[in-house]
Structure formats: C-alpha cells, structure tokens
Amino acid sequence: MKTIQEKIKERRTQLGLSLEDVAQALGVNKSTVMRYESKSIEKMPINIIPPLAKILQCSPEYLMGWEETIDKESSAYQVSTQTLPILGSVACGEPIYCEENRESYVLKGTEIKADFCLRAQGDSMINARINDGDIVFIRKQDIVNNGEIAVVIIDDSATLKRFYYYKEKNMVILKPENPKYEDIILTGEALDNVRVLGKAVAFQSDVE
C-alpha cells in the first residue's frame, strides 16, 4: 500500500506539475512540498489535505488511504463522501463542559456511519490510539455495549471513555485508556444525571 507521500509525488508527476507549481498553489515554500513527499515532515496538518487533493485532481480520501474507486476511462477518482459538523470538544481526561457549537466540518467516507464529530481533548484514551486533538466520529445512540468507547454526558459535561453498566449494582464505570487516570464510578442518584450521547466509531489523526 502506497504512503501518502508516495501518492502526492505520483499524482504531481502524472499531472506534470513541478514542486514550484504545487507550492505556489498551496501558498507554501517549495521545501515544504519536498518534505510532504520525502517523509521528513513530522506531521502533515489535516487542513492541508483537501486543497492539496484539489491541486492533484484526486480526492482527500485517496491521499489518506480511505476506500476509493477509479473511473478508468476518465482516470478520475470517484469517492462517495459526506461532511460532518465538529461539535466542539470532548474530554479525554476530566469531563469538560459540552459545547454544542459547530466549529467546523470534516469530510468522511460514506463507509463511516457517524452523525457528527468531536475533537478529543486530553490524553486519557491514548492506549486506544485516540490522542489530544484527534477528530472522533460519533454515531448518535443512547445505549452502547459494555467495553465500547462512548461519549457520556455527566450533568452538563462530556467525556470520552469505555462504558460499563452493571444493572444489578446500579452502577456505571467509565474507564480511561491511560493508567495515570482513575475510573469514573457513578452509582445511585448520580446516574440520574448521566446519559450516553453516542458511540465512537472512528477517529482521524494528523497525517504523519
């Protein structure tokens, strides 16, 4: 499977574009485009992918390695995509106030069955490969299975954790994926102020 760097260089070459052509279109230096193609850049910002894909006449999903089909007659990449709103941030640590504002939108492939996104904040889910700043795709549902990663509202605050419900004990345990954090244990009347907002079904990190 080709890396994103290999795909960028391949598409640029196929289109007969120089490094200077791509750099000028992106509004960056030639050396930056060279780093995009040579893996020497530590992280490629997600927001550079859509304009770069437009310049290279392909889809963002193609560059990022998502599923795509190719129209062989036109040599165009045909991908079914949708946009989802990013509704603020969700805590990967202590719960934070749940912001219901649409801060921006993100493209997704239609194979990802999600209703909206949240931006992860904190490091409590790093062992689940969800890092600070990642975009988490959420499918809206009020029930999840034990062990699934869910966005949980506690009073007016939101947190992203593995969810466990023990009916016989009238207890909910929210488990982080980082040993430096303790479980959040909710029992009795505290459960009256707890609800599941949705299940985490995918996440998107900065492309390295």
Residues annotated as catalytic are: 124, 161
Q: What is the C-alpha separation between 118 and 133, in angstroms, rounded?
A: 9
Beta carbons of 196 and 144 less than 8 angstroms apart: yes
Phi and psi torsions of 109, nearest 5°: -75, 150
What separation in angstroms does the CA of 193 have from each of 65, 114, 141, 158, 196? 41, 25, 17, 12, 10
Element (H, E) at 201: strand 194-204
Bridge partners of 90, per DSSP, are 120
For the chain, how many residues are written? Answer: 208
Q: Which of 176, 171, 175 is nearest to 194 (CA)?
A: 171
